[in-house]
Structure 1
């Protein structure tokens, strides 16, 4: 499983690749290699924390949107009832008027 492209910088990817390839060729990592890896891991952890915070913010925004959607749906239902009432009243008035004209 690889690391997504946007998690590590190009420089970090090259450093990790270099260390892994060295290990594969029998060269053991040095203190400097481990220090560099520790820095990279710390940066990835910070990026993960920022990502988690953004996900939480997005989840809250989604909840707010859901509440707003429910209010909008209720307002549309109320409006539909009012328009239906107006239509019935207007229709009744037109029927009365036409009856009077015909009579």
Structure 2
């Protein structure tokens, strides 16, 4: 069984007990969160697709870690024009473990 949901403007395909890295969520470590914007659920041969979301379905996840990725360097440079601009960026992330994928409406 797997599901596709939306978080932080991105879509993620998850299965039960999978650990995924999301955009930073403002919840403390150790809390359980629920995602209700589920686009699709697949179970064996049956697929249920929402329009745009499946009403009544929930994905439960446990927050395991917060952190920041490696720094990326942004360099803009024009040769012979005396132009050089440097910038760095570190993206915040949250690691979550998918506990359960519930389809409250009924089994597919």
Same fold (TM over 0.5): no
Highest Rg: 1 or 2? 1
TM-score per shorter chain, which class? under 0.3
Q: TM-score, normalised by structure 2?
A: 0.19
The structure whose RCO (Cα within 8 Å, separation 6+) is larger is 2
